[in-house]
Amino acid sequence: MAFDPSPPASIQNLLHRACHTWGLSRLDAELLLAMALGKPRSWLYAWPEHIPGPAIQETFIQLTQQRAAGKPLAYLTGHKEFYGLDLQLSPDALIPRPDTETLVDTAIEIIDRHKARRILDLGTGSGAIALAIKSQCPACDVWASDVSSQALGVARNNAKRLGLSVHFCQGCWFDAIPMNCGPFDLIVSNPPYIAPDDGHLEALSHEPRHALVAHNHGLADLFEIIDQTPKYLADGGFVWLEHGHTQGAAVRERFHERGYQAIESRHDLAGLERITGARLYP
């Protein structure tokens, strides 16, 4: 269906058409129009009768069409808030979800209660988890790894913009970590945990597949991290992993099989089992 801005449309008319012609939510339409204008969202409410120029209207139309086709808002705006941090994003890195803040909450709790100081975030992507921990616990020595050099570029840019010091390393899980930088008091990760045949993948087609999909019903990377962690964890150290809401039992069982103790799971904002952690003693 055509989206024709002529005759020249005002702010309120452009928003109306985006919502009713393309089916966008009002919030998405406002954020995209504000970005096209280079103005804060509040400006739209102050000047609803303003008529943007043709170039801005064309930019807005293109953004609207991409959003209507399913491209995530965070990739269109290039930004996503996570744990109070304004993160820049690109399609090279997974979009951080609010549910992952449960993992950050737990990490901060352990740092405060057990004086954990050396922290490792495996598969950091945009750097969301590592940067959130560093922002709340500046005394910690935080390391973060990712297999993707492009994702690490996003993470490093975020760290620089936010003025947060994190050590970034490239490689697959623990292969990225220099031999002399451990052991760690706390290891956290939000690894790929979606099965290759999961129907939810269609809705995530714009995000990097390698950051989403794992074999063995989505458990392969979770199990690999659990199996390798003892070599990198300090005595009495902790590991906490995000996983699918039906995978908690399998993750707990793997921890048990590998000799971990104090195994527990916690729920996300929707009340679903989302993270599982354990402690390792010699």
Given pLDDT bands bounded at 50, 70 and 90, which one contains residue 1?
Answer: very low
Answer yes or no: is pLDDT of 3 > 70. no
Answer yes or no: is pLDDT of 122 > 50. yes
Q: What is the pLDDT of residue 131?
A: 98
Express each pLDDT in 136-184 by its tens digit.
999 999 999 999 999 999 999 999 999 999 999 999 999 999 877 879 9
Structure tokens, 101: 């803040």
- Estimate the crossing angle of helix 26-37 against helix 11-21, to 10 degrees: 130
Given pLDDT bands bounded at 50, 70 and 90, which one contains residue 64?
Answer: very high
- Estimate the crossing angle of helix 54-68 against helix 11-21, to 10 degrees: 20
Contacts for 214-220 with beta carbons within 8 Å, 24 or more apart? 218/192, 218/193, 218/194, 218/244, 218/247, 219/193, 219/247, 219/250, 219/251, 219/254
Express each pLDDT in 155-166 by its tens digit.
999 999 999 999
Express each pLDDT in 37-55 by its tens digit.
999 999 999 988 999 999 9
The whole-angstrom separation of Cα 244 and Cα 109 is: 22
The whole-angstrom separation of Cα 126 and Cα 36 is: 24
**Percent of the chain residues past pLDDT 70, beyond the cut:** 97
Average pLDDT over residues 102-127: 97
How many CB atoms neighbour CB 59 within 10 A?
Answer: 17
The whole-angstrom separation of Cα 204 and Cα 200 is: 7
270 burial level (CB within 10 Å; 0-12, 13-18, 19+): exposed
Structure tokens, 198: 């999961």
Q: State the DSSP string of 240-282.
A: EEE--TT-HHHHHHHHHHTT-EEEEEEE-TTS-EEEEEEEE--
20 burial level (CB within 10 Å; 0-12, 13-18, 19+): exposed
CA distances from 154 to 107, 131, 158, 231 (A): 22, 12, 6, 29
The whole-angstrom separation of Cα 63 and Cα 77 is: 9
Range of lowest pLDDT (191-195, 202-206, 217-221, 276-280)? 202-206
Structure tokens, 215: 């074999």
Domain boundaries, the chain: 11-69, 90-280
The whole-angstrom separation of Cα 222 and Cα 194 is: 11
**pTM above the 0.85 mark?**
yes
Q: What is the pLDDT of residue 8?
A: 65
In sign, the C-alpha dihedral spanning 225, 244, 116, 140 is positive
Average pLDDT over residues 101-121: 97
CATH topology of domain 90-280: Rossmann fold (3.40.50)
Q: What is the pLDDT of residue 43?
A: 92
